[in-house]
Amino acid sequence: MRMRFDILTLFPSMFSSPLGESILGRAVEKGLIQIQTINIRDFSLEKHQVVDDAPYGGGQGMVMKVEPIARAIESVKSQNQSSRTIYLTPQGKPFNQDLARRLSTQTHLILLCGRYEGVDERVRDLFVDEEISIGDYVLTGGELAAMVLIDAVSRFIPGVLGSDRSAEEDSFFNSLLEYPQYTRPFNFRGRCVPEVLLSGNHSAISLWRRKEALRRTWVRRPDLLEKANLSGEDKTLLEEIENSSDDGEVSSADGGVCPRAKSQAPNNK
């Protein structure tokens, strides 16, 4: 087993189906990753298993109490010292592909899912190693954020994406957006697949894909271009893109509307 996720939550059942399907479900079956949910309420010693209380100093909403969380984390850490405790919160560092790759080098992650206005500050002081945010918006709970993290991190575990694939090929790998993808039919409602993709000329195909990845990144996420390690050829392609009148997404020269003559796939591919 390569990676264990222990999830501290008040709603363990939220995790059954999202993490039971498809790639992640198979990764659990193959024993590549292990996912355990721990109900924080089971660690409340108070009557009615209370886990939240009113904020000192007044104000709206409730705060998650420190004791049940402390007992829950200590029960998990007692089984495995080399764990890293992550609190999912809007106040955390932005989650991205680089952070996912770094976390995938760990063997045991404890994910703390907040609810209400969040956790008592002493949870952070005493137990949290890292705070991570999946985005600048407020969720009703940290559970969905924990699922996003588990999905993105697990993709780096060898064997999770299947033998031939590795997360290293993904977009954002070198922080460019993905190139456009096509599959059959060749002509859909008058929109044809760019010819180059049916040419069998692999260097022309990878050049086209590189150029379209650069174009899409230039149009949609120019901020990513700054930190992308661009080759000399990339810079030439980018000049062509910037100087080409056509700021369409896919260069109309190649894709888009089928030239009348070519409505059928060449040699019925």
Positions annotated as catalytic residues are 90, 117, 155, 170
Q: Contact with ligand 4FV (CB under 6 A): which of 65, 115, 155, 215?
A: 115
Question: Going residue by residue from 206 to 245, which x/- string records binding to ligand 4FV, judged by CB under 6 A?
Answer: ----------------------------------------
**Which of these segments, 40-48, 109-117, 199-207, 249-257, binds ligand 4FV (CB under 6 A)?**
109-117
> Does residue number 141 form part of the binding site for ligand 4FV (CB under 6 A)?
yes
Task: Please report the DSSP string for the chain in residue order.
Answer: --EEEEEEES-GGGGTTTTTSHHHHHHHHTTSEEEEEEEGGGG--SGGG--EEPPTT--SS-EE-HHHHHHHHHHHHTT-SS-EEEEEEEEEEEP-HHHHHHHTT-SEEEEEEPBTT-B-HHHHHHH-SEEEES-SS--SBSHHHHHHHHHHHHTTSTTTT-TT--GGGSTTTTS-PPPP---S-SEETTEEPPGGGGS--HHHHHHHHHHHHHHHHHHH-HHHHHHS---HHHHHHHHHHHHSS---SS-TTTSEEPPGGG-SPGGG-
> Does residue number 89 form part of the binding site for ligand 4FV (CB under 6 A)?
yes
**Which of these segments, 7-15, 36-44, 70-78, 86-94, binds ligand 4FV (CB under 6 A)?**
86-94
User: Between 3 and 119, whose beta carbon lies closer to ligand 4FV?
Assistant: 119
CB 114 within 8 A of CB 144: no
Task: Quote the least distance from Cβ 145 to ligand 4FV, whole Å.
Answer: 3
Task: Quote the least distance from Cβ 140 to ligand 4FV, whole Å.
Answer: 6
Size of the site for ligand 4FV (CB under 6 A): 16
> Does residue number 66 form part of the binding site for ligand 4FV (CB under 6 A)?
no
Q: Contact with ligand 4FV (CB under 6 A): which of 118, 180, 194, 255?
A: 118
> Does residue number 55 form part of the binding site for ligand 4FV (CB under 6 A)?
no
Binding site for ligand 4FV (CB under 6 A): 88-90, 114-116, 118, 133-135, 137-139, 141-142, 145
